[in-house]
Amino acid sequence: MNFREGTRRLGIVFGVLGGTISAFAGYPSARDLWNVGAANRKFESLMASPTMMKVAKAAKEYDPWEKYKSKFRKRLRITRNRTCRQGVGPDTRPAHRRGDRR
C-alpha cells in the first residue's frame, strides 16, 4: 500500500465520520423544521376547508368600530395638511402657524 492509497482511504473515513457527526448534530434543528412543515401543511389544509373560508370572509367583513365611527367623525376636523385634530375648541395658534392665509 502506498502513500496515495492510504491518503485516499483516510479521506473516505474522515468524510464518512464528518457526515455522521454533522447528521447527529443537525438532527434537532432538522426535527424542528420538519415539525413546522407538518404544522404548516395541517394549517393550510384547514384553511382551505369551506367552513374556514366562510369564517375568514365573515371576519374580513366585520368591523368592530362601526358603531363608534359616526361619533368620532363628528368630533374630528381635517386640516389643510391632512392632519386630524380634535374639534373641541378654537385654534389658539397664530394665523401664520395655523396654515390660514387670511
Q: Is 63 helix (H, G, I), strand (E, B) or coil?
A: coil
Is 102 within a domain? Answer: no
17 falls in which pLDDT band (50, 70, 90)? Answer: very high
Is 33 within a domain? Answer: yes
Q: What is the chain's Cα-based Rg?
A: 34
pLDDT digits 0-9 by tens, 42-57: 999 988 899 988 988 8
Separation CA 70–CA 77 (nearest Å): 13
Taking residues 52-75, report their average pLDDT.
75
The Cα-based distances of 78 to 6, 49, 64, 81, 86 in angstroms read 84, 44, 23, 8, 9
Query: Treating both helix axes as pointing N-terminal to C-terminal, what angle do 3-47 and 50-61 enclose, rounded to 10 degrees?
Result: 70
Q: Return the bridge partners of 77, or none.
A: 85
Is 47 within a domain? Answer: yes
Residue range of the domain that includes 49: 3-63
pLDDT digits 0-9 by tens, 71-84: 655 555 555 555 55
Is 73 within a domain? Answer: no
For residue 88, the model assigns a pLDDT of 47
Is 90 within a domain? Answer: no
Is 40 within a domain? Answer: yes
